[in-house]
Amino acid sequence: MAELVLRNVSKSYGKHKVLKDLCYTFSPGIYGLLGPNGAGKSTMIHLITDNLRPDEGEILYNGESIRNLGKAYREKLGFMPQQQRVYPNFTLERFLWYMAALKGLKKEEAKKQIPELLELVNLSDVKTRRLSGFSGGMKQRALLAQALLGNPEVIILDEPTAGLDPKERIRFRNLISRVAFNRIILVATHVVSDIEFIAKEILLMSEGTVPESGTPWELCEKIEGKVFQIVTDEAHVQEIISAYKVVNISKDENHIYIRVLADVMPEYAECKVRKPGLEDFYEYIFE
């Protein structure tokens, strides 16, 4: 079974320490990397993909330093970047053949894998179309297909649903779940719903550290009894916003519903405890 270990990893840019003594062990499954901009997610990804070297500590793959493994380790990696960097004049099929060549796949392997991946990402019928004519969701699926070339054991997805509409986001989320078997998949995202129901574990990153981690259920359990829904009218909305951490506001024809975080139940006539979700926990931690 594959195992990726970050052991006391630190990284600085000048005097600014981006990662601080980071320790974590990844085994097969989906991991969500959540955190605000500047939390260290991108730096962590670049270290794991061996594009950067840590200033301190080491990264081990199956017990060996990835620095010593070199090419043998990189051949086990699949990476989907945040930006949709595709070759607009390439057809999808040509793009995948080009990426297969860059990865060093033998022609026989590429010939077998490319049709299978096109089927997996549901793009077989557009394989001869130029990438310039693809929608955002189609480009993301094309990038996922190239990340899967070579049957990598570790897959890094950087903001994989950025810019996608809700339907494409759900489709992509389901696709990630399908390819997760026996692989370590790291998904860096700002969108909590992208990984709340598919992640084995969540790492909440802040200022180069991981202050909280665990299964989505374990994290949500930590704020049990701290999530409330207040039913109110327009006259009291600003008062509630000023007094509490507000997660969501919705309304119907008669009432306004405000979801808040608090250590003690707010003193309003219509206030009920609600089951916490991962978004609630994210807001609670990064308040």
Residue 84 is predicted with a pLDDT of 63
- Please compute the mean of the pLDDT values over residues 75-84 and round it to a whole number: 85
pTM of the model: 0.90
Shared-domain flag, residues 225 and 195 = no
Residue 286 contacts by C-beta under 8 Å, 6 or more apart in sequence? 35, 36, 204, 206
Q: Is residue 43 located within the same domain as residue 81?
A: yes
Q: Are residues 133 and 227 in the same domain?
A: no
For 185-204, what is each residue's pLDDT tens digit? Answer: 999 988 888 888 899 999 99
Looking up residue 154, the CATH number of its domain turns out to be 3.40.50.300
Q: Which of 26-40, 52-66, 103-117, 163-177 has the lowest mean pLDDT?
A: 163-177
Confidence at residue 143, expressed as pLDDT on a 0 to 100 scale: 92
**156 and 275 part of one domain:** no
Whether residues 38 and 133 fall in one domain: yes
Q: Are 247 and 279 in contact (CB under 8 A)?
A: yes
Q: Mean pLDDT throughout 217-234? A: 95
Within the chain, strands assigned E span 4-13, 16-26, 29-34, 56-61, 64-65, 77-80, 154-158, 184-189, 201-206, 209-214, 227-232, 245-251, 256-261, 271-273
Are residue 122 and residue 96 in the same domain, yes or no?
yes
pLDDT at 81 over 90: no
The two most distant CA atoms of the chain are separated, in Å, by 70
249-285 confidence digits (pLDDT tens): 999 988 999 999 999 999 998 999 999 999 999 999 8
- Is residue 14 located within the same domain as residue 148? yes
Boundaries of domain holding 246:
221-285
Same domain, 157 and 226: no
Let me know: does 193 contact 26? Beta carbons within 8 Å: no
39 and 154 together in one domain: yes
Query: Looking at the 3D structure of the chain, how many domains does it have?
Result: 2
Structure token digits, residue 286:
């990064």
17 and 105 co-located in one domain: yes
Please provide the average confidence, as pLDDT, over all residues in the chain. 92
